[in-house]
Amino acid sequence: MSIFSQLLSEYMKQKKIQTYRLAQYCGYDRGNMYKIINGKRNPPGKEFVEKVAGYMHLTPLEKTKLYEAYQISIVGYDIYYRRKAVLEFLTEVDAGRELDFALQPIRAEQGFEMEDKTFMLLEGRHAVRSALMYMTADETHQSEGHIRMLLQPETDFLASILAMCSNSGIQTRVDHIFCLDDTNKATGKDKNYNLTCLKNILPLYHYNYEYQTWYYYGYIPGQNQMFALFPYMVLTSGYACILTADLKKGYLTKEPEMLKMLSEIFENCHSHASRFGSLADSANHAAEQMAFLSATFSERSTGYSLQMEPCFMPVLTKEILQKYVRKDLPGREIFLVQL
């Protein structure tokens, strides 16, 4: 049985609906109605679903669930929820949204001390958060600050730290590499992972950083935390911090040889990642992005868009169109039919 037929059968049983009466109301053959109820045939269209919902006097919530089940039965579970996630992203994303806490300028000396140590073990989320805020605040006060991150943007953890350290008045360069899920899986309970990452990335472009992003497809470290040993890394000019996938443990160091080795690892990852996005802060930059976008289309074709002008269109007879539409117009005959 399909998800639509299961839900329809459930509603019919709850409301004691007879198949014959329902088919008669919908103007549908009883045999075909049985096939729909048993999941052997999909509903013929949205109007049919509307009639079924009307006859059974479904509540708005029940009607919404039935219509959703219909769409899933037509396009499939994964495709439906992937499209739904995209729609929610386009209608709900707010790149300039306010964070849930008051943003205060953070100084490097606030709330964190390494004393004379060259390294420090981090235990717990508070220690990890404090270390990253310390590193970020310290780097944003450097004249040529540069932060490099190999970190997943699936939570607001990263955005909150960068937001709180963005008030130094100095534009710091931030290079961010992250992994995108290549399975394209989406369910009703789980959000689309890639769109969740994108939602959390967009606000970072609004802060006082030269924020650049790169991505690669593959294994998401956080999906298997038990066997992921320090998959995340944050580097500044003076510190390096490697982190577990759950962001509960870490290792902070300012030892030069360790910084050099981790920097080489980051640059190697950077060389294998693809550019995700960047701000078009100049006309040349915008032209470069448009050129890149146009290069992604492998095929080109001619198309037409018609806008009806009520004072003019009614007087265009077939004879006038045949006479004045260019003879060498691509797809001319189809174009004339549409006109």
| pLDDT tens figures, 140-161 | 888 889 999 998 887 777 777 8
Instruction: Give pLDDT, residue 266.
Output: 94
pLDDT of 189 strictly over 80: no
- At 125, which amino acid appears? R
As a whole number, mean pLDDT of residues 1-22 equals: 89
201 or 168: which leads in pLDDT: 201
Q: Can you say whether the dihedral through the CA atoms of 72, 75, 76, 77 is positive or negative?
A: negative
Instruction: Give pLDDT, residue 3.
Output: 87
Instruction: Give pLDDT, residue 294.
Output: 74
> Measuring CA to CA, which residue among 112, 174, 105 is closest to residue 139?
174
At 96-146, the pLDDT tens digits run: 444 333 334 444 444 456 666 788 899 888 888 888 888 888 898 888 899
Instruction: Give pLDDT, residue 91.
Output: 65
Q: Using alpha carbons only, give the angle 274, 206, 222 rounded to the nearest 5 degrees.
A: 50
The CA distance from 132 to 239, in Å, is 10
Greatest pairwise CA separation for the chain in angstroms? 90
107 contacts 137 by C-beta, under 8 angstroms: yes
At 58-91, the pLDDT tens digits run: 888 888 889 889 988 888 888 888 888 777 766 6
294 or 255: which leads in pLDDT: 255
Q: Side-chain half-sphere of 262: how many Cα atoms within 13 Å?
A: 27
Instruction: Give pLDDT, residue 107.
Output: 44
209 contacts 166 by C-beta, under 8 angstroms: yes
Going from the C-alpha of 227 to that of each of 11, 153, 231, 244, the distances in angstroms are 45, 20, 10, 10
The CA distance from 30 to 164, in Å, is 65
Strand segments (E) across 221-331: 232-235, 240-243, 249-253, 274-277
Instruction: Give pLDDT, residue 337.
Output: 84
pLDDT of 188 strictly over 70: no
Instruction: Give pLDDT, residue 76.
Output: 84
